[in-house]
Amino acid sequence: MSDETSLWKGSPSQWLNLGPFSAGIILMIGIVVGGWWFTPALLGLILPLGYMVWRFLTVRCQVFELTTQRLRITNGVVNQHIDEIELYRVKDTLMVRTWWMRLTGLATLTLQTSDRSLPHLVIPAIANGVDLREQLRKQVELQRDSKRVREMDFDESGHATEELDADLSDGPA
């Protein structure tokens, strides 16, 4: 088995904070204008400024890393939390590009996995999402082939879903 190497590493875009930053700036302007008549109100600038810094750090400290064997998710400003998903456990990927994401060149990837601790993973507002989705898809297939693993979904009655039944009817490999 080959060594694990990093293929991609990235963080969500700060565009995610456009709403909170805008609201914080408007609130700060209101506090400054109100401070002309009531000087202690200027101390209120600390709250929206602190909130904006916290939002910035929360997005900045979220890191996603795609390796040849797994997807690693790092979160946390003060304490760091690391989750990992083995690539062969990724069942489906969905890419969403809203109008503002298309304007800024971003995309959000949503992954459905068979990992019980992280069955639904969202990688929000990342650059080159189209390329990352394709790279992820290829690595998932490579890992499944190397481990000789297939995802099998069952409905409530215990039967394999129609998608898998069609794959199995092709005959032995």
CA distance 16 to 18: 6
152 or 59, which is more confident? 59
23-56 in b/e form (b: 16+ CB < 10 A) is: ebeebbeebeeeeeeeeeeeebeeebeeebeebe
Domain of residue 28, residue span: 6-154
CA distance 74 to 65: 8
Q: What is the mean pLDDT of the chain?
A: 86
Predicted pLDDT of residue 74: 97
114 or 160, which is more confident? 114
Give residue 11's identity as a one-letter amino acid code: S
Predicted pLDDT of residue 162: 45
**19: β partners:** none
- Does some domain include residue 1? no
pTM of this prediction? Answer: 0.79
Q: Which residues contact 171 (CB under 8 A, 6 or more apart)?
A: none
- Does some domain include residue 168? no
Confidence of residue 31 (pLDDT cuts 50, 70, 90): confident
CA distance 32 to 104: 32
For the stretch 125-165, pLDDT in tens is 999 999 999 999 999 999 998 888 776 666 667 666 544 44
For the stretch 81-106, pLDDT in tens is 999 999 999 999 999 999 999 999 99
Q: What is the mean pLDDT of residues 114-124?
A: 93
Overall domain count for the chain: 1
Q: Report the CATH number at residue 131.
A: 2.30.29.30
- Does some domain include residue 25? yes
For the stretch 155-172, pLDDT in tens is 667 666 544 444 444 444
**154: β partners:** 160
**70: β partners:** 86
**127: β partners:** 106
CA 129 from chain centre, in angstroms, equals 10
- Does some domain include residue 107? yes
Q: Which two tokens stand for residue 155?
A: 């409905």
Predicted pLDDT of residue 159: 65
Query: In the chain, where do the E strands start and end?
Result: 6-10, 63-67, 70-75, 81-86, 90-96, 106-113, 120-127
pLDDT beyond 50 at 173: no
- Does some domain include residue 23? yes
- Does some domain include residue 103? yes
